[in-house]
Amino acid sequence: MMKLFSLLLMILISSLFGRENPFFPVDSTEAMPLTSNQVKRAPELKRATISLPSTARTLESVTVEFTNLDGSVGTKKIQLHNSIDWHLPLFISQNYNLSPEKPKVKKLHTVKKELFKKIAGLPFIQFYADGKKLKIVTKDTMLRNFLLVKPHRIVCDFKRQTDFGSYVKKGAKGSIFKEVRVGTHNGYYRVVIELDGYYQYELTRAKSAYIFTLL
């Protein structure tokens, strides 16, 4: 009996020293969680755009929010105070293929030639546009002009006793001047120029013409 007990004890001891650590499973590397310093990388910035409302005229500053390596969030702000055209979107991008800057050549001051294009007209009044300028050519006297909203439009009254009913002309696609309407009243006719957004204007008088410059 003692011999049998001694034999069993020897078998048990030999099995304990057969593995380096008997307190973990044989394939311990699969059961234990592993750590990693790999971070999910955000997609590279190509180009992002932002559009501003039609009331925007000056870009005062730009603020960028970013994430640091330690996960904290920071911001960077630049002051600008630059006039803008709200029709054009703003871009933010990174360009890795920047060519060396060419030396700046001072250009002589040139006067831009106005290229007015006719957009509407009646025998006694014609309408021409060039960018943000509208030229109304007529021999009739303007009685008043003012601005209305919803939709944003310029209204002008001209002195003339006439009765031609009404006239409507749609502007070209993408034009600032969306529509021109003319209607008759007692002793005058009314011109309504519908705009594509919010503007103020300056009015100047030229020979047989009134020029509206949108601001």
At residue 130, the pLDDT reads 95
At residue 42, the pLDDT reads 80
Q: Per-residue pLDDT for 82 more than 60? A: yes
- What are the Cα distances from residue 211, in Å, to 28, 83, 164? 86, 22, 25
Report the predicted TM-score, pTM, of the whole model to 2 decimal places: 0.63
DSSP characters for 74-120?
EEEEEEEEEE--TTSPEEEE--S-PPPPPPP-PPPP-PPPP--EEEE
The C-alpha atoms of residue 84 and residue 77 are separated, in whole angstroms, by 18
CATH 2.60.40.3500 residue ranges in the chain? 119-214
Of all residues in the chain, the percent with pLDDT exceeding 70 is 72
At residue 181, the pLDDT reads 97
The C-alpha atoms of residue 119 and residue 170 are separated, in whole angstroms, by 9
CA–centroid distance for 16 within its chain: 73
Which residues does 136 contact at the CB level (< 8 Å), separation at least 6?
A: 125, 126, 127, 128, 156, 191, 209, 210, 211, 212
More confident site: 197 or 46: 197
More confident site: 121 or 91: 121
Please give the single-letter amino acid code of residue 178: K
CB atoms under 10 Å from CB of 198, counted, come to 16
CATH 2.30.110.10 matches 119-214: no
